[in-house]
A and B are shown apart, each in its own frame.
Chain A
Amino acid sequence: MFPTPVQKSSPAVRVGYQAFLPLALFLWLLPLIAVMIFSIKPDVDFTTGNYWGWPSSFEGFTNYGLVFFESAMPRYLLNSVLITVPTVIGTVALACMTGFALGVYKFKGNLLIFFMFIAGNFVPFQILMVPVRDLTVDMGLYNTKTGLVLFHIAFQTGFATLFMRNFIRALPFPLIEAARVEGVAEWRIFVYVVLPLMKPAIAAMAVLIFTFIWNDYFWAVVLTQGPESQPVTAGITSFNAQYRAAYHLMSAGSIVAALPPVLMFFLMQKHFIAGLTLGAVK
């Protein structure tokens, strides 16, 4: 079996592995540790050059207090929720339907439509920046949460459809045939037969899309401006002063912004991993 399990290798390798693993882990996590330490430091530590030392005073409460009560951060967090949740619901709903249509019905052009959905995934999204921005301006959706949600739904549905279609393909088709023989209407088959079976796929999809959209920075900057519509990823930079970067506040803000996806991951770990591997082996 490749790779050879560590337990079966020579003692020297095992000891080396056990010695280097914590070290590698520490180095790997160093940037994150730095952000955590920075978030409890006072501003002065950055001017006196005390980056890695013990904080000269503990300002964790002050910094996080500033982030929550004195800045537009709660507003940005709310925006993120208002952008992410509708996108997840919209994408999953659309993808379930397209996946059902493409997975169950045999019609001319089925494969062509399916390929078009997939092809969307191969377009590097950066080249869409200018046309999408012009489109949202023309539609009057520039700098609105709706504009961002609609775009995210449109762009994520491609990937989600691929995912859902393959999942539905893998379902036992006789179930659907049996329902048809019983004379069940097609939409009832979708709602009562297929959807319940898709629950694991829906959960995995929802978790994935949630993290994608929550962490999106690019479109947030392109399509929105200001605290009335921008999500938290774009809002963190608002801590920067005109001449100075507020490292301590940005660190505290980043941690707050990172918590929801991290929580999501730990609560839904099972689905997350399922989501990454689903469709990989058929």
Chain B
Amino acid sequence: MRSILKTSFAAFVAAGIAASAMQANAQTLSGDLVIFSDMSNPAPRAVMEGMVERFGEMHPDLNIELTVIDREAYKTQIRNFLTANAPDVANWYAANRMLPYVEAGLFEDVSDIWEGAMSEELASTKGALTVGDAQYGVPYTYYQWGVYYRKDLFDQFGLTEPTTWEEELANCQTLLDNGIKCYTIGTKFLWTAGGWFDYLNMRTNGYDFHARLTNGEESWTSDEVRATFANWRQLIDMGAFIDDHQNYSWQEALPFMVNGEAASYLMGNFAVAPLREAGLTDEQIDFYQFVEITPGIPKGEDAPTDTFHIPSGAQNKEAAREFLRFVVSAENQTLINNGANLGQLPVNALSSVDDDKFLQQGFEMLSSGAPGGIAQFFDRDAPAEMAAAGMEGFQEFMVFPDNLDDILERLEATRQDVY
């Protein structure tokens, strides 16, 4: 019986492979495929070029034209080219960042790519790419946020990774007593403060409340939000953050951690590379998930997701769809996200992760340690105007905590306008 099952299973698999091979043969793509990408750094650029090359080998009749645009310039140019000379495939970001283009009808509905098994494999980001009931893009990479800390400093003062708010505060007090700031941060460009708010709010009130708040369904003057700021204020009153942080960019805040003047940094995984380059070894830096504040609340995490989309004005949508299918495949996501390439986390659940210490911890955390849900980041979850006003408010609060009432009323007024 068993062998029969086995054989029939094998036959089934073989038939499946043959069928998919035939399908691949049947879909000979031709014409031009124009791709605009913002993966302009050396490593991401190589990844993008590699993907185009491998996709090109699979479809020799297809003429692929890749234009890589500087990432910052891309953010302003996308409005232009989506209406003027739309490519067939374009890079962008998930959640509210793509919403204006979806609402303006500039991004194509790609729900067909998400049908069936794909929805399972990409489940962690499906919500972030869904507007209404349809999906408008596919993810290719994301990365975790969390607390990166100087393990050698923790060891020196006998501290361990905290898991509760009390432990976090106690650790911080010990560090402060020894003349070391707990956290480095540079709020000049505001978004770093957004990270702190995301985590404090998700831990104080839960992911669902946070999602409703960034979605405009909760009031900024509510008791829940005030509780979040009260927790934040505890840290500010202790003097936990470095002084004059409003004058630094996130990069300019790194030296404090490198030189041992501050012990940790709430940041995305991209902070690891410069820390290593500055001479810190993996024994000196480590990572922990942001601690629990309200006991029992399922933890939510920030994991900003980068995506591919098909503009509505695309000429070769058939080839574009095929390229998107190629991008999300587990095999491709494993390859492009490994340490030698992007050095980030693959979204496809069937892919494997690079054995880098931080990527492993991040993958573990996002796949099993974040039952609450995965947020994109404050400025991607909230609409642009709300995000701008919100992050200005957070920075102001960090410098002048007594202005809280003013700030919250301003944010509430913005919420009334925006949504």
Contacts and interface: CB of A to CB of B under 8 A. Distances in A.
Interface string B66-83: 011111110011001100
A49 B255 contact: yes
B259 A49 contact: yes
Task: Give the residue among A44, A48, A225, A237 with the most B Cβ atoms within 10 A.
Answer: A225
Contacts, number: 70
B263 to A, nearest CB: 16
B212 to A, nearest CB: 29
Contacts of B251: 46-47, 244-245
Contacts of B71: 240-242
Contact of B80 (A225, A228, A243): A225
Task: Give the residue among A44, A137, A221, A226 with the most B Cβ atoms within 10 A.
Answer: A226
B173 interface: no
A115 B284 CA distance: 70
Given A238-B40, A242-B71, A243-B268, A44 B81 contact: no
B376 to A, nearest CB: 16
B80 A133 contact: yes
Given A47-B251, A221-B76, A243 B270 contact: yes
Nearest to B269: A243
Interface in A35-59: 43-44, 46-50
A142 interface: yes
A243 B80 CA distance: 23
Contact of B41 (A221, A228, A242): A242
Determine the interface band of chain A, counting residues with CB < 8 A from chain B. Answer: 20 to 34
A77 interface: no
B77 A225 contact: yes
A137 B85 CA distance: 8
Interface stretch (B197-205, B271-279, B324-332): B271-279
Contacts of A237: 70, 72-73
B361 interface: no
A234 interface: yes
A47 B254 contact: yes
Contacts of A142: 80, 84-85
A12 to B, nearest CB: 39
Interface in A8-62: 43-44, 46-50
Task: Give the residue among A47, A133, A237, A245 with the most B Cβ atoms within 10 A.
Answer: A47
A245 B44 CA distance: 15
Nearest to A225: B77
Interface in B330-353: none
A43 B81 contact: no
Interface residues of B, number: 32
A158 to B, nearest CB: 26
Nearest to A223: B80
A202 B155 CA distance: 72
Contacts of B39: 242
A43 B40 CA distance: 18
A224 B111 CA distance: 33
B84 A245 contact: no
Contacts of B294: none
B196 interface: no
Task: Give the residue among B268, B274, B279 with the most A Cβ atoms within 10 A.
Answer: B274
Contacts of B209: none
Contact of A241 (B41, B68, B81, B268): B41
B278 A44 contact: yes
Contacts of B277: 43-44, 47
A245 B256 contact: no
A44 B275 CA distance: 9
A234 to B, nearest CB: 7
Nearest to A228: B67
Contact of A226 (B68, B255, B278): B68
B249 interface: yes
Contact of A48 (B67, B81, B279): B279
B343 to A, nearest CB: 11
A49 B256 contact: yes
A207 to B, nearest CB: 30
Nearest to B74: A225
B258 interface: yes
B281 to A, nearest CB: 14
B70 A238 contact: yes
A47 B255 contact: yes
A133 B67 CA distance: 20
Contact of B274 (A47, A143, A221, A240): A47
A91 B268 CA distance: 50
A43 B279 CA distance: 12
Contact of B258 (A48, A226, A238): A48
Contacts of B275: 47
A244 B40 contact: no
A48 B253 CA distance: 10
B279 A221 contact: no
B256 A225 contact: no
Interface string A125-144: 00000000100010000110
16 contacts: A44-B279, A46-B251, A47-B278, A48-B258, A48-B279, A49-B254, A49-B258, A49-B259, A137-B85, A142-B85, A225-B81, A226-B68, A238-B40, A241-B71, A242-B71, A244-B251
Interface of B: 39-41, 44, 67-73, 76-77, 80-81, 84-85, 249, 251-252, 254-256, 258-259, 268, 270, 274-275, 277-279
Given A48-B278, A137-B84, 8 more contacts: A43-B277, A48-B258, A133-B80, A142-B80, A143-B85, A221-B76, A234-B73, A241-B71
Interface of A: 43-44, 46-50, 133, 137, 142-143, 221, 225-226, 228, 234-235, 237-238, 240-245
